[in-house]
Amino acid sequence: MGSFLRSFFRTLSFFGRVFLHVHSQKTPPNLVHQQLGGDVEVKRNAVEFRNVTKSYGDNVVIDNLNLSIPQGNIVVLVGPSGCGKTTTMKMINRLIESTSGEVRVFNQDIQAQNSAELRRRIGYVIQQIGLFPHMTIAENISLVPRLTDGKKGHDLTKIDQLLELVGLDAASYRDRYPAELSGGQQQRVGVARALMANPPIILMDEPFSALDPITREQLQDELIRLNQELHKTIVFVTHDMDEALKIADELIIMQGGQVIQQGTPDHILRHPVNDFVRGFIGEKRLAAKPALTVADVMLLQPVKMSRYKGLAEAVQTMQRKRVTAILVADQDGRYHGIADTADIYKRYSEESKTLADVMRTDAPTLRPETPLWDAITLVQDAPYGHVPVVSGEGKLVGIVTRACLVDVLSKPYLEEAAASGE
């Protein structure tokens, strides 16, 4: 690692701590080991491919694939379009049959199994989740159990639990129709439906790629949280490296129907096996590194309100948007100050007070063009962990939080370390 970066990270201990915290939240993959008969240690795999080939005529699309998917992890298949990700995934639930070789699920050859039974143990979520428009959300979720168990499959308690689990208020959503939900909410229902039969394995093929970036981030966070609770084996396909690095316990990089590299995101960032992997994970971020400014990392739509708004309204907005601090700006964007819940509650009983009376006007701000390196300490010490970004004309243009620094900075750091082989 370059000496500049080394000293940079030594001085910024907060960053290291936060970074470690973020990464230690994930269960390290390959740690699911089982002692069998004393000396023999066998890794438990949910899915294994042994010399699997898939051809369409002369066209070999999966070429002698060997792959192990450890149990209880989020395993992400990533690679360019057409490299065989979907084909690989569909061979796990036999939506596609392999041409030769063996696919094993929980150590049993799936070829020898009834495919309908196999699929009941494997949830499936795709990009166009295919909710039925004339069925309510509850009916969509219970579709498969109703097909097999009749009315008994429509277990309302379970449906409500699943809706809550995926972050939807059961009472307000269960009786709606799909058209009455946003794309992100529909995708959550798709996840709930896949969980309904409580399968140990869930396949997800680009499930979030049609969503806007903010909803997508939220669903990625939800998925990580959900799996810390449920410990399912999730096989997730994407061609977005940012998404892959964020959610994967284990990454599998594919190219031309073959696995090029498999390992933890950390390992792959440190030790990419070849230029293809290096290019696939690195180019964009390496190119962005030399001139990072505050504008490159700030969040563009901070939660803001006019200074004439009353305190009850401010609290309500903060609850709805799930923020602990609110920025105060005019309709024309002019920045005035920042207030957090403590500032507001101190004066809350005084009904005539507005944000103008409680906001801090002396909290530090940043300019968008400020180099990121110069902004770090300020963000570290900022009273709310948030620093408003204000233009030369005094307009509020964004906000920088500790979390978004961690997000952006951790990647070039890892790449630098990887490139120097540390």
Count other C-beta atoms under 10 Å from residue 10's C-beta: 9
Region of 83-91, 270-278, 280-288, 368-376 interacting with ligand ATP (CB under 6 A): 83-91
Distance CA 59, CA 203 (A): 25
Residue nearer to Mg ion on the CB measure, 153 or 256: 256
Region of 3-11, 76-84, 275-283, 399-407 interacting with ligand ATP (CB under 6 A): 76-84
Q: Which of 38, 40, 56, 287 binds ligand ATP (CB under 6 A)?
A: 56
Q: Which amino acid is at 291?
A: A
Q: Judged by CB under 6 A, does residue 299 bind ligand ATP? A: no
Q: Judged by CB under 5 A, does residue 238 bind Mg ion? A: no
Q: How far is CA 52 from the centre of its chain?
A: 30
Count other C-beta atoms under 10 Å from residue 362's C-beta: 8
Q: Which of 73, 86, 185, 227 binds Mg ion (CB under 5 A)?
A: 86
Q: Judged by CB under 6 A, does residue 386 bind ligand ATP? A: no
329 — phi, psi (to 5°)? -145, 155
Residue nearer to ligand ATP on the CB measure, 136 or 238: 238
Residue nearer to ligand ATP on the CB measure, 164 or 240: 240
Distance CA 344, CA 325 (A): 10
Region of 78-86, 124-132, 290-298, 330-338 interacting with Mg ion (CB under 5 A): 78-86
Q: What is the total count of residues that contact Mg ion (CB under 5 A)? A: 1
Residue nearer to Mg ion on the CB measure, 86 or 227: 86
Angstrom CA distances, 40 to 33, 36, 37, 266, 395, stand at 10, 6, 6, 28, 65
Residue nearer to Mg ion on the CB measure, 78 or 110: 78
Instruction: Choose among 229, 268, 223, 273: nearest CA to 250.
Output: 268
Q: Minimum Å distance from CB 316 to ligand ATP?
A: 43
Q: Minimum Å distance from CB 273 to ligand ATP?
A: 19
Distance CA 369, CA 59 (A): 52
Distance CA 215, CA 184 (A): 6
Q: Judged by CB under 6 A, does residue 94 bind ligand ATP? A: no
Q: How many CA atoms lie within 13 A of 327 on its CB side?
A: 27
C-beta separation of 329 from 388 below 8 A: no
Q: Judged by CB under 5 A, does residue 142 bind Mg ion? A: no
Residue 56 contacts which entry, ligand ATP, Mg ion, none (Cβ below 5-8 A, type-dependent):
ligand ATP
Region of 81-89, 171-179, 182-190, 288-296 interacting with ligand ATP (CB under 6 A): 81-89
Angstrom CA distances, 199 to 46, 119, 354, stand at 12, 9, 52
Distance CA 378, CA 243 (A): 29
Instruction: Choose among 188, 263, 264: nearest CA to 226.
Output: 188
C-beta separation of 400 from 325 below 8 A: no
Instruction: For the segment 205-234, give every residue that binds ligand ATP (CB under 6 A).
Output: none
Q: Which of 45, 87, 220, 264 binds ligand ATP (CB under 6 A)?
A: 87
Instruction: For the segment 336-375, give every residue that binds ligand ATP (CB under 6 A).
Output: none
Region of 75-83, 98-106, 130-138, 175-183 interacting with ligand ATP (CB under 6 A): 75-83
Q: Minimum Å distance from CB 206 to Mg ion?
A: 6
Q: Judged by CB under 6 A, does residue 239 bind ligand ATP? A: yes
Task: Tell me which residues touch Mg ion (CB under 5 A).
Answer: 86
Task: Tell me which residues touch ligand ATP (CB under 6 A).
Answer: 56, 59, 61, 81-87, 239
